[in-house]
Amino acid sequence: MKYLMLVCVNRSADEGAGDLGRPVGAAPDEIDVDSWVEEMDGRGVRLLGEAIRPESDSTTVRVRDGKVLLTDGPYAETKDVIAGFDVLDCADLDEAVEVASKHPMARSNVVELRPFWE
Amino acid sequence: MVATAYTDDWGRIVAMLIRLAGDWELAEECAQDAFAAALARWPTEGIPDRPGGWLATTARNRAVDRLRRSAVEAGKLRDLSRLGEPTPVGYFPDERLELMFTCVHPALTKEAQVALMLRYLAGLRTAEIARAFLVSEHTMGQRLFRAKSRIRHARIPFRIPPAQLLPERLSAVLAVLYLLFNEGYAATAGTNLVTAGLSGEAIRLARLLTTLMPAEPEARGLLALMLLHDARRSSRIDQHGDLVILAEQDRSAWDRTQIAEAVALLEEALAQRRPGTYQVQAAIAAVHAEAPDTAATDWPQIVGLYAQLARLAPTPVVELNRAVAVAMADGPGAGLALVDRLAATGELNDYYLLPATRADLLRRLGRHSEAAVAYRRALELCGTDAEHRYLRRRLREVSAPTS
C-alpha cells in the first residue's frame, strides 16, 4: 500500500526558518531528518521524498469554464503549510503510522498520511 | 433457533468472511444471506446437526461465488488463487478477536469504533444502533459506511496487534466495551429500552473477550465489574424513576447469582497477579455487593482499594471517590478535607459530583446553609433528570427550618 506522507509545519513557528523550513530554535537532534531518510530508505518503505519551497512560491491551478486560472500562493489559507512530502510503501496503516511517528517533524509539527487511490 | 444461531454465530461468520474476502460490505451481505437461507430451509428441512457450521459453509460458499464472479468480470482470474482449496464442510475458524481489534483501531473515531463493534460483532442492525445513540438511521449508516471505507482505503490491518502495540490496543477494546456498558447503564428503564440493552451487549462482548483472551486479567476484571454493576440495576431507580443512592438501595433485589459469578471471575483475575484499574474497580464493587448494608461495609478496605486505584490511574474523579470512602471510614470531616483540597485544584470545576459530594458531607456535619449552597451549585451542573430530583430532595432537607 502506498501512502503520501505530508510534512506540515506551523507557519508562525516557521518564520525566519532556514531553507529547509526547519523550525527556529529546534534542537539539532529534533530535526535530524537525514537519519530518518537513511533508515526508511534502508527498510525500503520510502520510495521518494523532497522538501518543498514555501507557499509564497506556490501556484494554484484551477480550470473554470474552460479557462485555466492561476493564483499565486496556496489554495487553503491555514496556519499550517506543507513543507515536504514522502511517498511510503508499507504493508498497512500500522506500519505507515510507525514510520511517520519516527519522522522528527512528527514531534514538533504534524505529519499526515494519505493513502494512494488504488 | 435461527435467532439463537444469529446471536451466537453472527460475529464469527462475519469475521471469517472479512478474512476471506477482505471486504466488509461483502462479508456482511453474505452473512445475511446465510441467515436468510436458514430461515427459509430449517423449518422444512430440519435444523442441521451443527447449525454454526452449516451457516459458516453457506456464507462462505456464497462469498466464494461472488468473488469468483467479480474476478471473472474483471478479468482477474489469477485473484481466484487466493480463495485456495475447497474447505471441509463445517470448517468454522474463529477470528472474532481480529475483528474486535480492527473495530477499535485508533485511526477510527470513538463513535465509529462503538458502531462497528455493535454492527459486526454483536450483530445489531443499523437501525437499532441508531436508536440506541439517538441519531437517525441515515446518520448511523453513513458513520458505518465511512468507517468501512477508511478501513479499506487506509488499509487498517485485520489482525491481532503485534506485542509492542497489544497493551495499548487491548485497553482500547476494554474502554469501548465499558463505554458501551455505561451508555446502557445510564439509560433508565422506560426512557430508552434500546439504549438500556447496550449494557447486555457489552457484557456479552466482554464475556466473549475473556474466552478469546483467557490470559488477560483486565478482561476478566472488566467483565466482573460490569456484572457487579448490572446486578444492582433494578434497585438503582425507584418506581418514580428517581435515582436511589447505594446506601438506600434494597439489597434483597440485587442479583446474588450474578454477584457470585462476578466475584469468582475477579478472584481468577486477581490470582494472575497483574492488577489493573478494572480489577481494582471490580474489587471495590464486590466489597459493596457483599456487604449486608452501608454500616457493615468494610470501608477501610474500600479506602485501601481507592488508594491503589489512585496509584494506577491518578485522576481527580478517583480522588473524589476516595474522599467519599474516607468519609465513610473516618467520618465526614476527614472526607471533606480531601474534597476541599481537590476543589482547590480547580480540576473538577464543572463536575456536578464535586459540589454534590461536598454538599452531602456538609449536611452530615450539620452545616446546613453551606450544604444548601453546594447543592444549588451541583444542580446548576448536573445532567440527568433522576440526578436532578435527588439533589432537589436533599436541598429541601437542608433548607427546612431546624428547631
Helix (H, G, I), strand (E, B) or coil at A49: strand
What is the mean predicted confidence (pLDDT) over B309-335? 95
Please give the pLDDT value at position B91. 65
For the cut 80, the answer to whether the pLDDT of residue A104 exceeds it is: yes
Evaluate whether residue B10 is within a structural domain. yes
Asked whether residue B174 carries a pLDDT value surpassing 50, the answer given is yes
Q: Are B132 and B197 spatial neighbours (Cβ–Cβ below 8 Å)?
A: yes
- Measure A111 CA to nearest chain B CA, in Å: 14
pLDDT tens-digit readout, B198-236: 899 999 999 999 999 999 999 999 999 999 999 998 888
As a whole-number percent, the residues of chain A with pLDDT over 90 amount to: 38
Mean predicted confidence (pLDDT) in B335-361: 93
Residues of B in contact with A94 (CB under 8 A): 156-157, 161, 165
Nearest to B165 among A94, A115, A117 (CB): A94
Q: Return d(Cα B10, Cα B128) in angstroms, integer.
A: 16
Residue of B387, B334, B381 whose CA lies nearest to B361: B334
Task: Indicate the burial class of B76 (C-beta count within 10 angstroms; 0-12, 13-18, 19 or more).
Answer: exposed
Confidence of residue A40 (pLDDT cuts 50, 70, 90): very high
Q: Which three cell numbers stand for residue A68?
A: 485555466
Q: By C-alpha distance, which of B152, B149, B145 is closest to B130?
A: B145
B284 within 8 A of B309, measured Cβ to Cβ: yes
8 Å CB contact of B155 and A115 = yes
pLDDT in tens, B372-389: 999 999 999 876 777 788
User: Residue B56 domain-assigned?
Assistant: yes
Number of domains present in the structure of chain B: 1
Given an 8 Å threshold on Cβ–Cβ distance, is B155 in contact with A113?
no
Interchain pair A115, B161: CB under 8 A: no
A83-102 residues touching B, CB cutoff 8 A: 91-94, 97
ipTM above 0.85, yes or no: no
Q: Hey, are the CB atoms on B165 and A115 less than 8 Å from each other? A: no
**Chain-chain contact of B154 with A93 (C-beta, under 8 angstroms):** yes
In a domain, residue B199? The reply is no
For residue A93, the chain B residues in CB contact (below 8 A) are 105, 107, 154-157
pLDDT at position A68 is 80
Per the model's pLDDT, the better-predicted residue between B268 and B198 turns out to be B268
- Residue B88 backbone class (left: φ over 0; alpha: ψ -120 to 50; beta: rest): beta
Q: Report the predicted TM-score, pTM, of the whole model to 2 decimal places.
A: 0.84
- Average pLDDT on B266-287 reads 97
**Chain A residue with minimal CA distance to B156?**
A93
**HSE-CB for B161 with a 13 A CA cutoff:** 23
Buried b (16+ CB within 10 A) or exposed e, B134-165: ebeeeebbebbeebbebbeebbbbbebbeeee
CA B98-B100-B102 angle, to 5 degrees, is 70
The topology under which CATH files domain A1-24+42-52+77-118 is Alpha-Beta Plaits (3.30.70)
Say if residue A42 is exposed, middle or buried (CB neighbours under 10 Å; 0-12, 13-18, 19+).
Answer: exposed
Residue B8's domain comprises 2-83
Mutate to test the interface with B, among A89, A90, A93 (most CBs of B within 10 A): A93
Question: What is the per-residue pLDDT across B61-101, written as a single tens digit (0 to 9) for each?
Answer: 999 999 988 888 777 655 555 565 556 666 678 899 999 99
pLDDT of residue A110: 86
Specify if B55 maps to a domain.
Answer: yes
Q: What distance separates the 2 farthest-apart alpha carbons in chain B?
A: 92
The pLDDT assigned to A78 comes to: 66
